[in-house]
Amino acid sequence: MTTSLQKTSIHRTVLRNGIVVLVAENPVADIVAARIFIRAGSCYETKEQAGLTHLLASVLTKGCDGLSSLEIAEKVESVGANLSADTTADYFLVSLKTVTSDFAEILALAGQILRQPTFPEMEVELERRIALQDIRSQQEQPFTIAFDRLRSVMYAEHPYARSALGDETTMSRLTRRDLEQYYQTHFRPDNIVISIAGHINASDAVALVEKVFGDWLVPTHQPLPVLHLPQLEVTPQITITPQQTQQSIVMLGYLGPSVSSMDYAVLKLLCTYLGNGLSSRLFVELREKRGLAYEVSAFYPTRIFPASFVAYMGTAPENTTIALTGLRKEVDLLSTDRLEEESLQSAKNKILGQYALGKQTNAQIAQIYGWYEILGLGVDFDWEFQQAIASVCALDAMETARRYLREPFVSLVGQEEAVYRAIA
């Protein structure tokens, strides 16, 4: 079985103030979803202010000029709409979804929140306390600890080394003034993509955006922020965190390319083959056949800068050594053994099928095209990525694995004797 490739028609408009508007007309359901992307993810934080964009996302919808947190919530909930803010490493996001007849009202509310936030002091304090509780909670989760340590040694001074929450020290000292300064620097029309999908005409959608955001002026005295990031050095290390846990977390990390690389699609396919689902290589070999893993998987996130290709498993303490050896062996095989054609095609069908399923709702459609635009890839990347996956051959896969999946960074969390014995 092969998965057919689909190309979607997207209307793209650039307003006079630089806002990029994308519209996907989808009249099937009487729903409109929008995603407002700002180039202001946690990569734009300083190390000393780690967690700032997380805190900003938490309080952005809690007050704007003329409206309190409760009044905003009442406006949204009275029409059964959704409105929220979030942040990632590469971008900041405001999401909304309504029935078509209420879209203009909720988009106007989102515009009011985006353009005139008040960051109420009480809300800032409340959300900071909640974030600190989340940070402390994560410090008790072996997987999170292992991944934090791995990320730290892989990325060093690069922003990808840090958790979106920051740490207790950085989160504790963030102030309302910090939020205001960050907002004033990054939240500007020439730094924004608005992606809309649903039961709405493209020209009507653009007119609504123009009405809400068209008079937002670009600051003439302040150029767009430019990131200056350190070079990454690939010098694999082993990090060990002794902890009295009932299982060991074994994690391998490899520095892979960004989404703009020609090798991105190949590594996405290899990650799917290796660790995606119950039929994946890692699950079958290490859990089903050998009974080593409580959980086992791999992931390779889409990033604008070099991303991490990670394979991990949770195992019994007494199996830590053979689990590390087994996990390393399965990744190494990608560089030495060509994938059989049946396995390669199965991985293609899986990734393309999941990709198609990820574009079923208006919210998903608005998300994916806006995401590609804010990353600088353009909406055609949707089609290009599918073509790239379909064209991967076994030799491509093996040669790409040789380039990137060589010597891993290793992170081990578990009982002291077990994790130290594993590297002895």
pLDDT tens for residues 237-262?
999 999 999 999 999 999 999 999 99
Q: How many CB atoms lie within 10 A of CB 420?
A: 14
> Which residues are CB-neighbours of 341 under 8 A, at least 6 positions away?
394
Give the pLDDT score at 8.
Answer: 66
Burial code (b: 16+ CB inside 10 Å, e: under 16) for 77-96 equals eeeebebebebbbbbbbbbb
Give the pLDDT score at 7.
Answer: 60
- pLDDT of 4 over the 50 cut: no
> Which residues are CB-neighbours of 282 under 8 A, at least 6 positions away?
274, 275, 293, 296, 297, 298, 311, 313, 327, 330
Give pLDDT tens digits for 158-193: 999 999 999 999 999 999 999 999 999 999 999 999
Q: What phi and psi values does residue 369 have, to the nearest 5 degrees?
A: -75, -40
- pLDDT of 2 over the 70 cut: no
Give pLDDT tens digits for 121-172: 999 999 999 999 999 999 889 999 999 999 999 999 999 999 999 999 999 9
Give pLDDT tens digits for 275-317: 999 999 999 999 999 999 899 999 999 999 999 999 999 999 9
The residue ranges of DSSP E strands in 118-228, in sequence order, are 192-198
Give the pLDDT score at 124.
Answer: 97
Report, as an integer, the average pLDDT of 371-391.
Answer: 96
Which residue, among 315, 261, 270, has the nearest Cα to 293 in the 3D structure?
A: 315
* Single pTM value for the model: 0.94
- pLDDT of 5 over the 70 cut: no
Give the pLDDT score at 234.
Answer: 81
Give pLDDT tens digits for 24-33: 999 888 999 9
Report, as an integer, the average pLDDT of 208-231.
Answer: 92
Give the pLDDT score at 27.
Answer: 87
- pLDDT of 222 over the 50 cut: yes
Alpha-carbon gap, residue 256 to 230, rounded angstroms:
16
Continuous segment of H or E residues that includes residue 12 = strand 11-14
Query: Which is more confident, 224 or 332?
Result: 332
Give the pLDDT score at 3.
Answer: 40
Which two tokens mark 242? 């002794």
Residue 295: helix, strand or coil by DSSP?
A: strand
Continuous segment of H or E residues that includes residue 85 = strand 82-87
Report, as an integer, the average pLDDT of 45-73.
Answer: 96
Q: By the 8 A CB rule, do 277 and 350 touch? A: yes
